[in-house]
Structure 1
Amino acid sequence: MAKTYRALALLLTYPTNDLQRRAPEALALIEAEALVPKTLRKALGRLVAEIAGGDIYDLQEAYTELFDRTRSLSLNLYEHVHGESRDRGEAMVALAELYRAHDLHLSANELPDFLPVFLEFLSTLPETQAASLLGEATHVLDAMGERLKSRGSAYRAIFGALGKLASQAADPGALAALLSEPDEDPNDLEAIDKAWAETAVTFGPSDVGCPKASALVDAMMAEPGRQPRRAAARA
């Protein structure tokens, strides 16, 4: 089980004073395990310095503009596949049941497809299995990383690290399809309203680029001698 997943999950949460204090500890965990290349660890260090030393209100505004106001950067994985359709709700129920089977219980305000929650779940699994499940989301994660890179965001380092942790690289065609979709300007309120009003899939076919709950359940239940694991305390 790799603590790196939990550390990355922490760094990807909404900035608070508590996160500013704990961010260097998360970086220390990533450095200690050294599961991602040194260049990416340095990039993560720059993100941590930005979080730990930045003005909290500026950090919160930047985070909201990136991840809450831009659908193409939504941290809710199933948003990229199902939009706001009923299919997303059914997928999240299945994913939540999978978490509970491994003794990871969500709070009332946590969605199961929220990327930091998914990463914390992966931190409770053997590294090979976690890397395999993460690989199912590589297309979405790489597309988000490219969009963050184009914005000059230090958060790009997290998605670069996830790409290295995953067991498989994104299919070039699937990644290109994701990147061909519109990337909303967070300051264009009319475009944002139109994007969130859409209920159809906007990021390609539903079997591409997202860890589908059915696939996760099948993979976990097929593991010989599987024993439930209790999620560790948050980093």
Structure 2
Amino acid sequence: MDRTLKALSVMLSYPTRDLQKAMPEIGGILSSDTRLTAATRRALRPLVEELRTRDIYELEEQFVLLFDRSRTLSLNLFEHVHGESRDRGGAMVSLIETYRASGFDPVTSELPDHLPVLLEFLSTRPSSEAQDTLADAAHILEALNARLVRRESPYAAVFASLLQLVGVKADQEAVAEMLAQPDDDPADLTALDEVWEESEVLFGPDPNAGCPQVRDMLARMDMPPTATVPTRSAPNAAAE
């Protein structure tokens, strides 16, 4: 298992007291991974410390404001490609099938394109497959990193770490297109309601039609399983 991908997956999950208890171990995993530069490992420390020591209710509120009430920071990757269109539903059907074909059955209420779920899955796959899959989403990761840096959020360090693990240059035109979208104001609930009142996500028979980025991501993951993957476990399993 790639313990660093697993650790980053857990850090991007909704904060819990179990996560707080696991942070010393998670911090140790990240600080010892030489694939990350010393500067990147240092940049992760403030988030590790915040998740370890900050009041749990403040952590929950911060997470909701960032990732649940701000669509431009959504952790659901296909949303940045398809929005709420039918194509997104089809892409998620293919992703679920890929998970199941590899023996991975995440126990979560999150959608299959939720980044922490994908990272947990990739942590169990060969490193070349994980790297190639994340490379297809590099422009999304870079745009999210830039938005979090703009908000001075310590969560930016997680995305900077993922980009470093990917080791490829993101498509700057695609990044610029994403960053051209105005940031959501999580305090403006009326505006957020209007944004979310779009077409329902439909799971149709035409997976990822017309979307080469999603096709590439799924194609790299559509490989024979090399091992049986255990179901999603508690946050402190990040170091197993």
Q: TM-score, normalised by structure 1?
A: 0.88
Alignment of 1:131-142 (within 5 A): 131-142=131-142
**SS in structure 1 at match of 2:32:** helix
Alignment of 1:34-49 (within 5 A): 34-49=34-49
Alignment of 1:179-194 (within 5 A): 179-194=179-194
Matched, 1:229 2:227: yes
Q: Which amino acid aligns with 2:63?
A: Y
Structure 1 residue 137, shift from structure 2 partner: 0.6
Please give the root-mean-square deviation of Cα atoms over the aligned residues, in Å.
Answer: 1.9
Q: Which amino acid aligns with 1:215?
A: D
| Displacement over 3 Å in runs of 4+ | none
Structure 1 residue 110, shift from structure 2 partner: 3.0
Deviations 1:32-54 (A, max 9, x none): 33221111111111101011110
For 1:218 and 1:16, the matched residues in 2 are separated by 34
Deviations 1:138-176 (A, max 9, x none): 111111111111111000000000110114221111111
RCO (CA 8 Å, sep 6+): is it higher in 1 or 2?
Answer: 2
**Percent identity of the aligned residues?**
44
Structure 1 residue 177, shift from structure 2 partner: 0.7
For 1:32 and 1:146, the matched residues in 2 are separated by 25
For 1:81 and 1:220, the matched residues in 2 are separated by 18
Segments of structure 1 that go 5 or more residues without pairing to the other structure are 201-205
Contact 2:3 2:123 in 1 (8 A): yes
Q: Which amino acid aligns with 1:219?
A: R
Q: Measured at CA, do residues 61 and 108 of structure 1 come closer, stay the same or move farther in structure 2, by a change above 3 Å?
A: closer
Q: TM-score, normalised by structure 2?
A: 0.87
Q: Measured at CA, do residues 66 and 108 of structure 1 come closer, stay the same or move farther in structure 2, by a change above 3 Å?
A: closer
Structure 1 residue 178, shift from structure 2 partner: 0.6
Q: Which amino acid aligns with 1:73?
A: L
Q: Measured at CA, do residues 92 and 151 of structure 1 come closer, stay the same or move farther in structure 2, by a change above 3 Å?
A: same
For 1:215 and 1:103, the matched residues in 2 are separated by 21
